[in-house]
Amino acid sequence: MDLTYDSIAEAYQRLAVPLVFLRPAKDLLDALKSAPDADILDVGAGTGVTAQAIESIKGFKGKLVELDISLQMLKASHSSNSVSKVVGQVPGLPFCDKSFDAVMANFVLSHVLKYKEAITDMVRVLKPVGRIGISAWGSEKHQYSDLWDKTSESFVSKELIENIVSEFMPSREIFTNPENTRELLRAAGAREIEIHKSEAVVSTTKVDYIAMKSVMLQGRFIKSTIGEKGWSEFLAKLTKNFDAKFSDPIEYTSRAHLVVGSKP
Ligand SMILES: C[S@@+](CC[C@H](N)C(=O)[O-])C[C@H]1O[C@@H](n2cnc3c(N)ncnc32)[C@H](O)[C@@H]1O
């Protein structure tokens, strides 16, 4: 069962990035206050959302390095030729100490079992007075995610879904609370730690919302568990349930928290 990001890179870039990942990437870059000539490392860069967001730094002429464990995610990135792409993982960053002015991880560390080592490694590759930023989602739900969950639980048990989420995102609970991230950054030697909020109103169609959820972890897991026929039935039921309760466009507020700090 391939639940990695490899198989969904193109759909992730097309559906999930514009709907929910671009806004927090922009906000995290703002919170890092990088100079236009900064060397920035984006850990778990995915399909290059930071490269898209960096266009908002006026006159940026620094260096951006995108690192990801998934070659397919990096391949789906449309970032310009000036962006370096590296297949690698955290912990175990393939860079010398004190290489970057800023290091960021957008919605990545929840996937990492050795998250303490990961943060220590990110601080290691920062130059003195360099800035580190970590973002994660909160635990909030909304009526659309509730309806997705309710429908999916009539096809695959809630327990099975929760087990797979814990396996694939072993540190999700930790990073849901920004105070934990603050404490982890402090323990890794960062100082001047601040917590920021990133909020955006997501406005989309029911079809695009369901398509986006389908490529996320729960969707991939449900599909691989119930097979093609079951998946068609699931989508039909989901569409019926959504049509019975909601009309287009559907809107909700997506909320993330951003924790930033400095290396002394
Ligand atoms: C939710 S996506 C976020 C991608 C991107 N940062 C964004 O905001 O769109 C998580 C990314 O982390 C990558 N990833 C997971 N574990 C990793 C690790 N240990 N080291 C580096 N990348 C990792 C995945 O391949 C995936 O591209």
pLDDT digits (tens, 9 = 90+) for 79-99: 777 899 999 999 999 999 999
pLDDT at 79: 77
Ligand 1 contact, 135 CB (< 6 A): no
- Could you say which DSSP state residue 242 is in? H
- Each residue of 148-193: pLDDT tens digit? 999 999 999 999 999 998 999 999 999 999 999 999 999 999 999 9
pTM for the predicted model, two decimal places: 0.95
Say if residues 116 and 187 touch (Cβ distance below 8 Å): yes
Q: What is the 3-state secondary structure (H, E, C) of 167-200?
A: HHCCCHHHHHCHHHHHHHHHHCCCEEEEEEEEEE
**Which of 8, 68, 121 maximizes ligand 1 atoms within 8 Å of its Cβ, making it the mutation to test the pocket?**
68
111 CA to middle of ligand 1, Å?
Answer: 8
Ligand 1 in reach of 16 Cβ (< 6 A): no
Q: What is the DSSP string of 215-237?
A: HSHHHHHHHHHHHHHHHHHHHHH
Query: Tokens for 152?
Result: 């999916």
Q: Domains of the chain: which residue ranges? A: 5-262
For all residues of the chain together, what is the average pLDDT? 94
Give the mutation target among 3, 71, 108, 112 for probing the ligand 1 site: most ligand atoms within 8 A of CB.
108
Q: How far is the CA of 247 from the centre of ligand 1 (A)?
A: 33
Q: Are 92 and 121 in contact (CB under 8 A)?
A: yes
What are the tens digits of pLDDT across the range 27-79? Answer: 999 999 998 899 999 999 999 999 999 876 778 889 999 999 999 999 998 77
Does the structural domain 5-262 have CATH classification 3.30.420.60? no
